[in-house]
Amino acid sequence: MVYSDETSARVKGKNEWEWVFQNDEVVLHVIRPSRGAQVVREIMGDYRPLYWIPDLYCAQKGHAEKWQICLAHQLRDCQHGIDSGDQGFSWQMKRLFRRAIVLSKRRHRLKDETCKAYKPYHPSVFARKMKI
């Protein structure tokens, strides 16, 4: 599993990008002039983890067998929606993401039957519940 993100960085008066790659054993910081996917290919080479967990930036896609969005980034974006006045969708999504985070922390202690009871809604059911 690899978690990754990038953010702007000033280097000798110029804007560049600080990339962070992390797993359970190591955190790697690199600064490059580009925010493009070629940075990931340069750093990772032929290595393809099973999971890649980034924000939704397109340069972060396609570097692993499976891709999962970073829930911390999604919570931040939901909070921005709430702070901007959204009274419906952002609150509901934040609640769903927080529930997912809480369940993930205790998943290893739950019985299979309990995990099945928490199975996510099909998108059409979710849309009806959200009145979308």
Going residue by residue through the chain (132 aa), what tens digit of pLDDT does each one get? 999 999 999 999 999 999 999 999 999 999 999 999 999 999 999 999 999 999 888 898 899 999 888 888 899 999 999 999 998 899 999 998 898 888 888 878 888 887 777 666 555 555 555 554
Predicted pLDDT of residue 64:
93
Distance, CA of 70 to CA of 66 (rounded, Å): 13
pLDDT at site 116: 74
| Contact partners, residue 95, CB within 8 Å, separation at least 6 | none
**Six-digit token pair at 93?**
């999504």
Give the pLDDT of residue 75.
93
pLDDT of residue 84: 97
Q: Where are the domains of the chain?
A: 2-67, 80-130
